[in-house]
Amino acid sequence: MELIAKYHVETDLPIRKAAIAIAAEQSTGTWTEVQGADNPLAARVIRAEGTDVEIGFPEELFEPGNIPQYLSVVAGNLFGLGALKKVRLQDVIFPESLVRAHKGPRFGIEDARRILGVFDRPLVGTIVKPKVGLDPAATAAIAAAAVRGGLDLVKDDETLTDQAFCPLISRVEAVMSALDKVEKETGKRAFYAVNVTTGADQILERAERAVDHGANMVMVDVLTAGYSALEVLSRHVDVPVHVHRTMHGAFTRDKGHGISMVVISRLVRMTGGTNLHTGSYMGKMARETMENDQSRDALREEWHGLKRVFPVASGGIYPAKVSGNLDGYGIDCIVQAGGGVHGHPDGTTAGAKAMVQAVEAWLKQIPLQEYAKDHKELETALKFWGS
């Protein structure tokens, strides 16, 4: 069996020669001939046409369960090869043995739905805004206002961790107390994804302390903390894990160079995320539809028995942008708005209601402007931000 890595390669070399150089550099070769380079662990060129290259790496080359080692092979020194102008890791087809070396999500889509009691619609979430600068009490007030409006998830910003102005444990206690009160009054249950991102020596302890103080979801910035950090959280913390992709643009933005969101999606599913920011079909983070489709499928299609993961559309989304994202992701997704909730002229609760109403319109296949006639929060949002 092999791991198959698919690359986009731009070079002045003949493409097959470039592919051979990648295969050698990432397995048994070096810049000059050495004894023993031609052995069973040498990678092979499967395909080299135009700018498309596929390399087969022997399964034995990989240490099962070691994501950092996988990446050192398929996304290692090749990016520095002088003869290559650009290289992008487009996808990785993992052999079953390497996938099964990971347990995947402890909490998948179905588990999260069961906790919330929501089964027949997309989930709707928000990010507390302003992203930093609020104290725990102010954070809790905004979270409660959002859930009163019908939202299913409130999350920290990716830059908010355990700063002095808003200590993590105090924040968790304040937010969960406020959400408990809302649930008792309205019956509405929601997740609060508290950002536990920190160094490898502290992240599990931090997450466990957050759960001990009431957290019902934790969040990790996977590309800054690492896939191993996500895997530790998923295996040892008894709540769902929300995964943010902050810093991803350094890898994903250049369509000719870097690493695609599809690869990140596969690794997050292997290492245990419940939700993953994958990109939006409409919004300020919108990119290529094809890559969104591929990331969505990598998270939700049957894959060696691993639980399914929610793709999250986020970034510059407001009610008029909802339908375009749901057309792409369907029911099994989370559509999330920060400014598109809290920036509503009538406040956070009204902004949350407007987002929920936009989802309702999509589910009922009613044009947004028509649905807004009987839903004042949506009507105000469309007048304010446009339709």
The span from the CA of 348 to the CA of 287, in Å, is: 28
255 has catalytic annotation: no
Asked whether the beta carbons of 21 and 81 are under 8 A apart, the reply is: yes
Catalytic residue among 129, 155, 321, 344: 129
Catalytic residue among 244, 248, 344, 375: 244
In degrees rounded to 5, what are phi and psi of residue 214?
A: 115, -10
244 has catalytic annotation: yes
Q: Give the CA distances from residue 241 to residues 190, 216, 280, 286, in Å, rounded to whole numbers and listed in that order.
A: 14, 9, 20, 24
Q: Which residues of 215-239 are buried (b: 16+ CB within 10 A; e: fewer)?
A: bbbbbbbbbebbbbbbbbbbeebeb
Asked whether the beta carbons of 295 and 279 are under 8 A apart, the reply is: yes
CA 158 to chain centre: 12
CA angle 239, 240, 241 (to 5 degrees): 120
Q: Which amino acid is at 143?
A: A
Asked whether the beta carbons of 231 and 207 are under 8 A apart, the reply is: no
Helices assigned H by DSSP within the chain: 15-25, 67-74, 96-99, 109-116, 136-148, 168-186, 203-212, 222-225, 227-236, 249-252, 261-271, 289-300, 319-329, 339-342, 348-364, 368-372, 376-385
Query: Which of helix, strand or coil describes residue 259?
Result: strand
The span from the CA of 252 to the CA of 199, in Å, is: 24
Asked whether the beta carbons of 322 and 359 are under 8 A apart, the reply is: yes
Asked whether the beta carbons of 199 and 158 are under 8 A apart, the reply is: no
Residue 41's region, left for phi above 0, alpha for psi from -120 to 50, else beta, is alpha
- Residue 364: CB atoms within 10 A of its CB come to 8
> How much is the CA Rg of the chain, to the nearest whole Å?
22
Q: Which residues pair with 186 in a beta bridge?
A: none
Please identify every residue annotated as catalytic.
129, 244
